[in-house]
Amino acid sequence: SERAFAWVPSERLEQDFADFTLGLTTFNDRVRQGVEEYAAGRLLEAEVSFREALVLREDSYIPHYYLGLILYQKRTYAEAAEQYLRARELGVEAALVSYALGVNAFADQQYDEAVQFLKEAKAADPAAYGAKVDTLLGRIEVLR
Looking at residue 3, what DSSP letter applies?
-
10 Å Cβ neighbour count for 98?
25
Distance CA 144, CA 132 (A): 19
Other beta carbons within 10 Å of 100: 23
DSSP code of 108? T
pLDDT at position 91 is 95
| pLDDT in single tens digits along all 144 residues of the chain | 455 556 656 676 566 665 554 456 899 999 999 999 999 999 999 999 999 999 989 999 999 999 999 999 999 999 999 999 999 999 999 999 999 999 999 999 999 999 999 999 999 999 999 999 999 999 999 988
> What are φ and ψ of residue 3, in 5° steps?
-120, 150
Q: Report pLDDT for 24.
A: 66
Q: What is the pTM of this model?
A: 0.80
Instruction: Give the pLDDT of residue 25.
Output: 81
Residue-level pLDDT at 144 = 84
